[in-house]
Amino acid sequence: MGASVIWFENVHRHDIARVGGKNASLGEMIAALSSRGIEVPTGFATTAEAYWRFIDANGLRAPIVALLRNCESGKASLAETGAAIRKIILAGRWPTDIEEEIIAAYRELSRKLDIGVASVAVRSSATAEDLPTASFAGQQESFLNVVGEGALMDACRRCYASLFTDRAISYRKTNGFDHMKVALSVGVQQMVRSDLGGAGVMFSIETETGFDKVVLINAAWGLGEYVVKGVVDPDEYRVFKPLLTDAALAPIIQKRRGTKANKLIYGDSDAPTRGVPTSAEEQASLVLSDEEILTLARWAGAIEEHYGCPMDIEWAKDGRRDRMYIVQARPETVQARAASGLLPTYHLGKKGRLLAKGLAIGNAIAAGPVCLIDRPEDISKFVDGAILVTKTTDPDWVPVMKRASAIVTDHGGRTSHAAIVSRELGVPAIVGAENATEALRPGTVVTVSCAEGDEGFIYEGRAEFKAETISLADIPETHTKVMLNLADPQSASRWWRLPADGIGLARMEFVISNAIQVHPMALVHFERLKDRLAQERIAALTAGYPERTDFFVDQLAQGLARLAAVAYPNPIIVRMSDFKTNEYAGLCGGAEFEPQEENPMIGFRGASRYYSPKYRDGFALECRAIKRLRETMGFRNVVVMIPFCRSVGEAEKVLAVMAENGLVRGVEGLEVYVMCEIPSNVVLATAFARSFDGFSIGSNDLTQLTLGIDRDSEDLAASFNEQDEAVKWMISKVITDARRAGAKIGLCGQAPSDHPDFAAFLVECGIDSVSVTPDSFVAVKGAVAAAEKAKAGG
């Protein structure tokens, strides 16, 4: 083959100057990763030399330079300049030998694929592209389902012209690249029949937090362009990378079904692709099976390992052959450049009415007036510093996105254009907000909050918020373990950089109330429900599950898995559900299964429920979720904790029920702790230590029951004091007895967060660990370090 065309298998990642970043990466994967089972569609690339020969054969260098100078001097607008350059390129004629080489390669590709005339994807690949510091994502054009020699040559010419789209010119100028030193290679690649299957994008790192142990996958039906452009709301899957090495495990820690209302499929000669609505069945189904999700995640891990950096990867599933392919891979450029020693955090205070919500991109908060833009042609109406609200964005929107304080789109997922660009710009965004363009009125001031986890929220008015940056280098080391209290799976990975010793308290009931929303007994006895509205809601939530109880187990296991992933390999102590009866009754269908109590705080709660006929079947579902979490997913760092266990006899009953459901203390390394929150736990600590591996002091309830104060009472709030001498005596006593019995002992109350001297008291008593809220971690870590130094006499 001549100097104008080169097959992918002869290209390597160092050939960017010859075939551009995109094509160099394709060749690298074919050469280096095929042996690891990663499939990349075959094809060829035109060279940078072919581009320059085309430009020179048509005498275009001087006109292009002149047009660019006019733009820089203000004599012509960016839009006028880009249009003029593209016009002269599209009018250019191919040098005969280059055209013959491309057509010959296309014919050879058709023969390789055993197809009369191959359908190909024709993609632009610039020689300043997919670099670790600048992605150039979406700056040039790609054309799908190109069939025939004439159509191919036309698509190649259009790729050349797309080197001078308005967005590409602007991007190169912003990033300091000389327009006339950047060439374009065209990749001609076997078209994967994802129009009959699905496609999407994945990152080998969590895009919002930089959590490096997770693969994030977006998936939709049909060709992948709709995912990239943010036209559809895709499925979202997360997979925990460290456990992928064991083929027996399935560490899928999240599966969120997107609406996927439309898909892009093959068209005809006039329009190679066309959009169509998806069927009701497609919208209700996940695009990928668990096996396919795990395969893609393993491929992402292998690609990241090979390149030595986090990767942004496009994949496609051929529905005709039922095979998966990687069609692009480039370095991730946002989190890779983030300062690893600094942790920026935002704290939201008083806020207005919730107006809309969607997927949060970034973790910042911004406020400003709404500026609703329907079309790129109306971009001139945008007001600097406003909140840009639109249905979706494409690369033409970048200039106005740079001027926004926040971005909100009706459509799109975490890998859509709006999400990628907002991350690169450092601008908070909410994508997939569905009705934002209808719910938000132009000119009204709103607050966009991306600081509350996976979901982003848009509030009426200007909310109170503050920002701070934690320097991780300033956090001291301590002998006493300092752990985190975490309950919300959606926001847990925000804190992965904190040097915590694990999660000391993960509240199961938070996951149940937020992700599941249904009383477990209403799932077990669905047919007995008298509340028809509750039945309808439960039927909708559990659609697609063979058994309604599987919904509870699946969602609970996934929610807890996202917490366990942040702690891994350090322990995460999962407290089994500790709702009070009035709280359980508030769950969907719950009122029919809960008694009414005068004082639920000391009523039918905790351990007493787990062996009772009134809840035993519900507890069995909790046990099934823990078993799946530990054995199917592989999170053996999960420790189970039993709350509100009043007696040693009750402890034995609970352990027996757990064993019936496959959770046997000591088997497969399972540890079981008890919440120390009742005076009997202190009085009989030595006996409790024979049934449990450790204690976690719940200082709120222990204070309540030691002082005889309802902690919810406003009238007695001033008397509720965790530092009361009676409470401190109880804590000191149980620490001494637990250590003597060889059991672990920690505290997960609020007191160390509020009072540094209380942290010093705990260290003096010899506690093993304290568990605190993330926002107080740094202060408590410092107080513990100071206390240890004082105790040592230093």
Phi and psi at residue 327, in whole multiples of 5°? -110, -15
The tokens describing 157, both together, are 């010419």
Phi and psi at residue 756, in whole multiples of 5°? -60, -30
Burial class (CB within 10 angstroms; exposed 0-12, middle 13-18, buried 19+) of 194: buried
Contact assessment for residue 610 and residue 654, using Cβ atoms and an 8 Å cutoff: yes
The tokens describing 263, both together, are 């898909």
- The catalytic residue among 159, 371, 417, 676 is 417
Single-letter code of the amino acid located at 708: G
Q: 715-724 contacts: CB < 8 A, separation 24 or more?
A: 722/749, 722/750, 722/751, 722/758, 723/751, 723/755, 723/757, 723/758, 723/761
Closest to 194 measured CA to CA, from 220, 215, 155, 231: 220
- The catalytic residue among 71, 450, 676, 748 is 748
Helix ranges (H only) for 402-502 are: 417-425, 436-439, 489-492
Look up 417 and say whether it is catalytic. yes
Helix ranges (H only) for 119-256 are: 149-161, 166-174, 225-229
Residue labelled with tokens 């839009």: 79
Phi and psi at residue 723, in whole multiples of 5°? -100, 10
Instruction: Categorise residue 114: left if φ over 0, alpha if ψ from -120 to 50, beta otherwise.
Output: left
How far is it, in rounded angstroms, from Cα 505 to Cα 513?
A: 17
CA-CA-CA-CA torsion sign (61, 63, 68, 69): positive
The tokens describing 491, both together, are 């926001």
Look up 411 and say whether it is catalytic. no
How far is it, in rounded angstroms, from Cα 702 to Cα 695?
A: 13
CB atoms within 10 A of CB 56: 11
Phi and psi at residue 469, in whole multiples of 5°? -120, 125
At 187, is the secondary structure helix, strand, or coil?
strand
Is-cis flag, bond preceding 569, omega within 30?
yes
Contacts of 689 (CB under 8 A, 6+ apart): 695, 737, 738, 741, 742, 743
Closest to 373 measured CA to CA, from 336, 399, 334: 399
CB atoms within 10 A of CB 636: 17
For residue 590, CA distances in Å to 507, 556, 629 come to: 19, 17, 25
How far is it, in rounded angstroms, from Cα 24 to Cα 45?
A: 9
The tokens describing 634, both together, are 């592989």
At 323, is the secondary structure helix, strand, or coil?
strand
The radius of gyration of the chain from alpha carbons, rounded to an integer in Å, stands at 30
CA-CA-CA-CA torsion sign (554, 556, 559, 564): negative
Contact assessment for residue 227 and residue 210, using Cβ atoms and an 8 Å cutoff: no
* C-alpha dihedral, 724 to 727 to 732 to 735, nearest 10°: -140
- Catalytic site positions: 417, 748
